[in-house]
Amino acid sequence: MPAVSKGDGMRGLAVFISDIRNCKSKEAEIKRINKELANIRSKFKGDKALDGYSKKKYVCKLLFIFLLGHDIDFGHMEAVNLLSSNRYTEKQIGYLFISVLVNSNSELIRLINNAIKNDLASRNPTFMGLALHCIANVGSREMAEAFAGEIPKILVAGDTMDSVKQSAALCLLRLYRTSPDLVPMGDWTSRVVHLLNDQHLGVVTAATSLITTLAQKNPEEFKTSVSLAVSRLSRIVTSASTDLQDYTYYFVPAPWLSVKLLRLLQCYPPPDPAVRGRLTECLETILNKAQEPPKSKKVQHSNAKNAVLFEAISLIIHHDSEPNLLVRACNQLGQFLQHRETNLRYLALESMCTLASSEFSHEAVKTHIETVINALKTERDVSVRQRAVDLLYAMCDRSNAQQIVAEMLSYLETADYSIREEIVLKVAILAEKYAVDYTWYVDTILNLIRIAGDYVSEEVWYRVIQIVINRDDVQGYAAKTVFEALQAPACHENLVKVGGYILGEFGNLIAGDPRSSPLIQFNLLHSKFHLCSVPTRALLLSTYIKFVNLFPEVKTTIQDVLRSDSQLKNADVELQQRAVEYLRLSTVASTDILATVLEEMPPFPERESSILAKLKKKKGPNTVTDLEDAKRERSADVNGGPEPAPASAASTPSPSADLLGLGAAPPAPVGPPPSSGGLLVDVFSDSPSAVAPLAPGSEDNFARFVCKNNGVLFENQLLQIGLKSEFRQNLGRMFIFYGNKTSTQFLNFTPTLICSDDLQTNLSLQTKPVDPTVDGGAQVQQVVNIECVSDFTEAPVLNIQFRYGGTFQNVSVKLPITLNKFFQPTEMASQDFFQRWKQLSSPQQEVQNIFKAKHPMDTEITKAKIIGFGSALLEDVDPNPANFVGAGIIHTKTTQIGCLLRLEPNLQAQMYRLTLRTSKETVSQRLCELLSEQF
C-alpha cells in the first residue's frame, strides 16, 4: 500500500485487513468481505456527502478486495473524484485504483483523461508524476491518442524537473511500444537526443531506453545520438567509483546506463573515424577493467561488472571491424569458459559462437577447442552442453572438422534426448561440408545412424543417398560399407533404407566378390524385411526389382518372393500394388525394357542441403545455428587449404556447367523483396547507393554473347552469373543464374535491370523477384521475359547489390540483349538474294566496314559465328566461294526488317570487309557494329 503520513493513517482499513487475516475459513472471509461491500455501497449512496479522507479509505478497501480476487462493480466514480483532490494521498489512491481497475473501454475514460490533462498542465511535479505513471500503467490506445502529442513537449521543455523528465521518457516509451503509429515524430526527436548530455543520470538512463527503441524503427531520426552516446559512455567508464556516488553500484559506476548506451550503439554501424577512436578507447577500458582484481567479493559487484563487459563484447561483435578488440574479447570469454559460475560459462559459450563467425577472431576461438570439448563432456547443465555443441559447430572448418565430428559422435552416445536430433543434423552438415575424402563422409553418416538412428531424420539419409549418387568415386565404397553394416544382428531401420537404396543402385559394383554375391546381397536385405515398417518394405521391394535388372541370376528367387501370398495379398495396398506391378514387369518386359525402366538414378540437381534447411527451421531464424551461413570466406592458409565444393555439386565438371546445368530445374523459391521497415534494412539500407560502374571485363563478356545464348556472363571470387536464353521472333526469355561461390550467406540480395528512357520505349522487360537471401554454395534463378517493341541500339544494365559478411557489394554488368537476338534466318536462292541486294542499294540502307581481323581467320569458326548471330548462312550464292553471305528478318512488335549481309575475308592482308543492307539505316548500323566485333 502507498506510504501515508501519520495523520492520514486509515485505521478502518487496517482493522478490515486484520479481520480478513484472522478469518478461519474461506466462507468467513467471503462473509466479512460481503459485509464490508454492503457498508461501502451504503456510504457511497447515502445522502451525506463523504469527505476526501472517507472516499480514499473506502476506495482503498475496494482496491484491497479486488486484489484478493473478488469482482468490484462500483466505486469507480468515487475514485475518479479523488483525482480532482489537491491532497497528494487522495490523488495517489485515485490514480492507483484507476490504473488497476479501469479498462480502456470504460465510460469514465473521458473524465479520467480530463483529470490527467489538468494534472499535466498544473506544472506541479508531484501531480505530473502521478498522471504520467497512470498513463504508462494503463497504456491503452485511447491513452496514446489523448496524450502522445503532449508528453514529448513535457519531455523536452526546459523548465521540466528531472523527476518528471524521467517519468515522461518512460511513459512515452510505454505508449510507443503499445501504439507506435500514434506517437508522432517531429521537432522533439532532435531535442530528445540531447538528453543524453543531461547532468542528471536518471534522465539520461530513461532517455537512453526511449531513444534505443525509437532508433530501431527510425534510425535516421536519431543517428546523431551515436556521438553523444559515445561521449557519455566515455565519461562513465573513465570515471572513478567515487565520481558518480549516487549511481555507483558496488564499485561499478552506472552499470545500467552503460549497458543501455552500449545497446543503443548496436542499432548503428561503426561510427565515423573520430568517434570510432573514442569508442574503441572505451571498449578497451572496459576490457582492461575486466582483468583487474575485483574490488568486492560480493556477487553484486561481479554481476554488474560482467553485465557491462558482455554488452561491450556484443557491440564489438556487432561492429566486427576491429581485429584487436575481437581477439581480446575472445580471450576474455575464454577465461570465463572455466569459471565456477554456470551462468558465466553459458554466456561465454554463447558469445563465442558469434565471434566464431568473424574472420578476425575465428582463429582465436579455435584455440579454445579443447576447453569446449571438455565442457561438452563434464558440464552438468544441459543448456551449457548445448551451447558447447553450438560453439563446436560454429568454430568448425576444414582444419578441425574430423576432430569435432568425432567428439560430437562420441558425445551423442550419452547426450540428452532433447538435443540429440540437433546434434545429428549438425554432424551430418559438418561431415558433408568439410568432407575431402567422401569415404569418411559415408563412414560418419553410417556411424551416426548406428549411434542415434531414432534421431536421424529423413533429410539426413536422403542427403547421403544424393551425395553417393552424385559422386562416382564413392559409390563402390558406399555399397561395400553398407553391405558390411547390414550384417550386424541388429540394424536400425534407417540403415536398412540406406542399404536398400544404395545396393539397389550400385550393388553390381561389389557383386564380383564371392562374399557379396547377388544372392547374398538379396538374402541379407530380405532378412531385414519382416522387421521393417511399411515405407521401408516398399523401398526394399523397389530394390528387389532393381536387382532383377542388375542380376538376372536372382530373378527367379525375387519373383518367388513377389509371388508369395504375403506380398500379393498384403493388407497394405501400397505393398500389394508394388508386388503385383513389379512381378508383372519382371515377367513380361524384355531385357532392354527392364534396363530402360530401371536404369540408374541420374545425378540430383539440388544445390542447397535439405539438412541445413531443417536445422534452420528447428532452431528458428537469427539463432546460433545460422552462424555457419554468416561465416566469412576465409583464405586458404586459414583453413589449411581451399574450401571443398559442396558435395551435391561435385558431379558438375566446370563452373559454367555447374551454373547452367540447372536450367531445366524448377526455379528457386521466390520470396518478397526485402522490406524497408525492419531495423537492419533501415540502418544498413543500400538502396540509396549509386549504381556501380560496369565491372572490369564486362564489355568483353558482352561481346562474347552476341553470337551465343548460354554461358557465364560474370564471375569473381564471390559471385557467378550465368545465362541461358531463348528467342523467337520478337519475344525472348532469359534465365539468369546467381551462384554464391562462398560459404557465407548473401543478404539483401537485389538484382535490378536498368534501362534508359529510349531503351524502355523500344524494349519491354519483365522480371520476377529473387529471394533476398542466397545461402553459401547455393544458386538462385531469375526469369526475364523480353519483348522487342522496336529496333534499339543500347543494352540494359544488370545491377546486383547485396551484403556479404557485413560488407556492401555492388556489381554492374551489361546484359547481352541485342538486336540480332530477334533475327529469324531466311533461306534464299542466289538469284533472289542478289535481286533483293540491288533493291536495298540506296546509301541510307547500306553500311560497310573494313577492319583488321582480331582472331585467327578460320572458315568454320566464321560460319558458326554468322549462324550464331541469327542469320541464315547461304551456301553457293556468292560468285567468290571464300565470301560469306547471310539473310534474315529482324522481328519487332511494330515491324519486320529484312537484312542481308556479306562478309569478304582477305587472308593475305588479314582484313575483312563487312557489308550490311537493311530497309532501315539504324538497324544496318547497329548490326554492323555488333558483327564487326566478332572477327
CB contact at 8 A, 726 and 819: no
How far, in Å, CA of 88 to CA of 616, rounded? 56
Phi, psi of 9, rounded to the nearest 5 degrees: -60, 125
Q: What is the dihedral of CA 915, 921, 926, 931, to 10 degrees?
A: -10
463 is in an annotated binding site: no
12 is in an annotated binding site: yes
What residue spans of 292-337 are helical by DSSP H? 299-319, 323-336
58 is in an annotated binding site: yes
868 is in an annotated binding site: no
How far, in Å, CA of 404 to CA of 402, rounded? 6
How far, in Å, CA of 589 to CA of 582, rounded? 10
How would you class 462 by CB atoms within 10 Å of its CB: exposed for 0-12, middle for 13-18, buried for 19 or more?
middle
Among candidate residues 33, 624, 70, the one with its CA nearest the CA of residue 349? 624
| DSSP per-residue letters across 819-884 | GGGGEEE----HHHHHHHHHHT-STTTEEEEEEE-SS---HHHHHHHHHHHTSEEETT-SSSTTSE
Helices and strands (H and E) in the chain: how many: 43, 16
CB contact at 8 A, 122 and 137: no
260 is in an annotated binding site: no
Among candidate residues 474, 476, 550, 497, the one with its CA nearest the CA of residue 519? 550
Stated length of the chain: 935
Q: Dihedral sign, CA of 443, 445, 446, 450?
A: positive
57 is in an annotated binding site: yes
Phi, psi of 736, rounded to the nearest 5 degrees: -105, 125
Among candidate residues 204, 282, 197, 193, the one with its CA nearest the CA of residue 239? 282
Cell representation of residue 395: 568454430
CA 329 to chain centre: 26
How far, in Å, CA of 935 to CA of 932, rounded? 6
CA 165 to chain centre: 40
Cell representation of residue 681: 534494412
| DSSP per-residue letters across 751-798 | EEEE--HHHHHHEEEEE----S-B-TT-EEEEEEEEEE-S------EE
CB contact at 8 A, 253 and 244: yes
How far, in Å, CA of 65 to CA of 435, rounded? 69
Which residues, including other chains, have CB under 8 Å from residue 380's CB and lie 6 or more apart?
none
865 is in an annotated binding site: no
CB contact at 8 A, 371 and 332: no
849: left (phi over 0), alpha (psi -120 to 50) or beta: beta
Among candidate residues 397, 353, 355, 399, the one with its CA nearest the CA of residue 372? 353
DSSP 894: S
59 is in an annotated binding site: yes
Return binding residues.
Answer: 11-12, 43, 53, 57-61
